[in-house]
């Protein structure tokens, strides 16, 4: 489909599904109930489009939610379709909170609207990057009658799988492997770990593994970091880091930022890309004079491009640069990451020439 430069929405096709890139700066003046359309697209010999309401579709929500709707354009008595509709986060991934699945019957100009699709505050912090966001949709038209879902849950789906798996971990029922970290034993379930991490799969079920081994010693990781990683493995969500830190043992007297750094390292070690991306995003939000150098070093050592760019941008601000370069942490970069100092010098020189 052609893209119109005057239209704030452009279209991309991927994996047989439709993805639409929406420029947020061109929609900021729309009020409650006002919307923009995506370009029309085809599925099952029918035409469709998505409407995006940046201030929400209903006045009663007072602009605190964004709304999305899927609309059938083709003239037809009725069309029953199975569809998925949602947003991709800053890292190009769908999340449970931003995705709906349903089977509904559509009529000419009859749309299925989600007026409280997502709180605007969550949308703006987690889904917009560089003045755009991505809305994605796939539609499968049913040629035979199907039961129509009268409602569809957004976010936590009715099966509560994450909650039930977390309870399984908390209650320690059926655990069959124990990890020892700094003298503390933490138990888990082999199959769950192996299903989520290729590294755990190799460690727990590889050809050289003794399956009767009940305890595995892990070096260079704090027990609290391992527990936080297990929480993500079982639930696909980060635990409440503030609660973890405040409830930690004496050896975990650290800030939430440092814990996120440790957790990012653990995620990289066990090939948990989703957890790594979440930690990277959290660290990118909370950069400060005290943490920017350590976060930059972690980003460089573990290939986190987004976090690295955020840290470099923070350091290169003149009011920050004169403070950061005098810290002991900055001086230590020469030993741990000498290439970073060279890159910083080049960026400083480039900034000077642009003035």
Tokens of 170: 């908390």
Q: What is the pLDDT along the chain (355 residues), one digit of tens a residue?
A: 344 445 665 544 323 368 888 988 888 889 999 999 988 888 877 888 899 999 998 888 788 899 999 988 876 667 888 888 989 888 777 777 788 888 778 876 667 888 888 888 889 888 998 888 999 888 888 654 443 333 333 333 344 677 788 888 888 888 989 999 999 999 999 999 999 999 999 988 877 665 567 788 999 999 999 999 999 999 888 777 665 655 554 444 567 889 999 999 999 999 999 899 888 888 888 899 999 999 999 999 999 988 998 899 899 888 888 898 888 888 888 777 888 888 888 887 776 665 5
| pLDDT score for 281 | 84
Q: Model pTM?
A: 0.56
Is-contact 293 329, C-beta < 8 A? yes
Domain boundary assignment for the chain: 9-142, 161-354
| pLDDT score for 111 | 74
Q: What is the pairing mode between strands 215-217 and 177-181? A: parallel
Is-contact 95 157, C-beta < 8 A? no
Looking at domain 9-142, its CATH class is mainly beta
| pLDDT score for 257 | 87
Tokens of 191: 């199959």
Tokens of 233: 């493995």
Asked if 9-142 and 161-354 have one fold, the answer is no
| pLDDT score for 200 | 92
Q: Does domain 161-354 have CATH number 3.30.710.10?
A: yes
List, in sequence order, every beta strand (DSSP E) within the chain. Answer: 9-14, 17-23, 36-37, 41-43, 46-53, 65-72, 79-88, 94-106, 111-119, 132-142, 177-181, 184-188, 215-217
What residues form DSSP beta bridges with 11? 20
| pLDDT score for 9 | 57
Residue of 230, 303, 227, 293 lying closest to 265 (CA atoms):
303
């Amino acid at each position: 489909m052609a893209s119109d430069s005057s239209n704030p929405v452009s279209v991309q096709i991927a994996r047989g599904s439709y993805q639409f890139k929406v420029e947020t700066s061109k929609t900021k003046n729309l009020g409650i109930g006002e919307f923009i359309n995506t370009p029309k697209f085809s599925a099952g010999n029918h035409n469709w489009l998505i409407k995006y309401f940046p201030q929400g579709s209903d006045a009663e929500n007072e602009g605190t939610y964004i709304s999305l709707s899927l609309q059938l354009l083709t003239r037809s008595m009725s069309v029953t379709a199975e569809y998925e509709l949602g947003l991709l986060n800053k890292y190009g991934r769908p999340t449970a909170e931003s995705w709906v699945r349903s089977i509904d019957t559509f009529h000419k100009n009859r749309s299925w609207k989600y007026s409280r699709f997502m709180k605007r505050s969550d949308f703006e912090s987690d889904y917009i990057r560089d003045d755009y966001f991505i809305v994605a949709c796939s539609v499968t038209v049913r040629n035979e009658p199907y039961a129509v879902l009268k409602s569809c849950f957004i976010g936590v789906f009715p099966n509560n799988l994450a909650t039930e798996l977390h309870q399984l971990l908390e209650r320690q029922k059926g655990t069959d492997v124990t990890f020892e970290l700094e003298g503390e034993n933490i138990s888990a379930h082999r199959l769950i770990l192996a299903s989520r991490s290729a590294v755990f799969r190799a460690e727990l079920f590889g050809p050289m593994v003794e399956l009767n081994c009940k305890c595995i010693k892990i070096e260079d990781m704090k027990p609290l970091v391992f527990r936080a990683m297990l929480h993500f493995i079982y639930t696909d969500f980060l635990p409440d880091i503030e609660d973890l830190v405040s409830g930690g043992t004496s050896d975990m007297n650290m800030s939430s930022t440092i814990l996120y750094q440790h957790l990012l390292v653990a995620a990289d070690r066990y090939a948990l890309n989703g957890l790594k991306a979440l930690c990277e995003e959290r660290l990118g939000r909370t950069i400060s004079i005290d943490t920017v150098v350590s976060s930059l070093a972690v980003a460089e050592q573990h290939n986190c491009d987004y976090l690295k760019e955020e840290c470099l941008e923070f350091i290169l601000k003149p009011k920050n640069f004169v403070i950061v370069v005098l810290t002991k942490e900055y001086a230590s970069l020469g030993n741990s990451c000498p290439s970073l100092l060279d890159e910083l010098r080049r960026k400083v020189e480039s900034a000077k020439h642009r003035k």
